[in-house]
Chain A
């Protein structure tokens, strides 16, 4: 009768073993396209401010004089819009996530100010 309809699936699971992974011991591998966090090749950046104007959450900030580009990690939603609009293509989407934290993290990228 139909009360045993689950049996087949259950036996399969017993043979197969757990479908889950032993997480903290075996870290999960991200895929190539995983939208993890934004990275900036700061030496290529021209500080045009395109990304800061387009960012939907206002997580980005630049300082042209000091050649500083900064990102509020917890505010960023990883939509990748800044990567799209960047004219120099110096922004990248990394497939590693920002580590969880109890405080808001702000990352600064400062370019070396060239001597000439």
Chain B
């Protein structure tokens, strides 16, 4: 089984870390988001089966930079996360403005505040 290598970083470091990985020849596997107790973003990268993850923990109000300038094909993941979770991701190249899935409900995966 793959070993789980998760590296925790702060939201501001995402671009620096990604640039490093990109120049080391890693490819982006996926960006996953968990919406429980704030936003938890996992950026998964792979190079020759070396599978590593960058973990960003933040709240819904924090803005995070898009990594599309480095990995162009991240636009699908970022648009998805933005639309389903309502996470604020800025400067996405090819921003669909929450119109990727065109769902009627706004940010359906976002944790709703308990009433």
Q: Do chains A and B touch in the complex (CB under 8 A)?
A: no
Q: Which residues of A contact B (CB under 8 A)?
A: none
Residue ranges of B at the interface with A (Cβ–Cβ < 8 Å): none
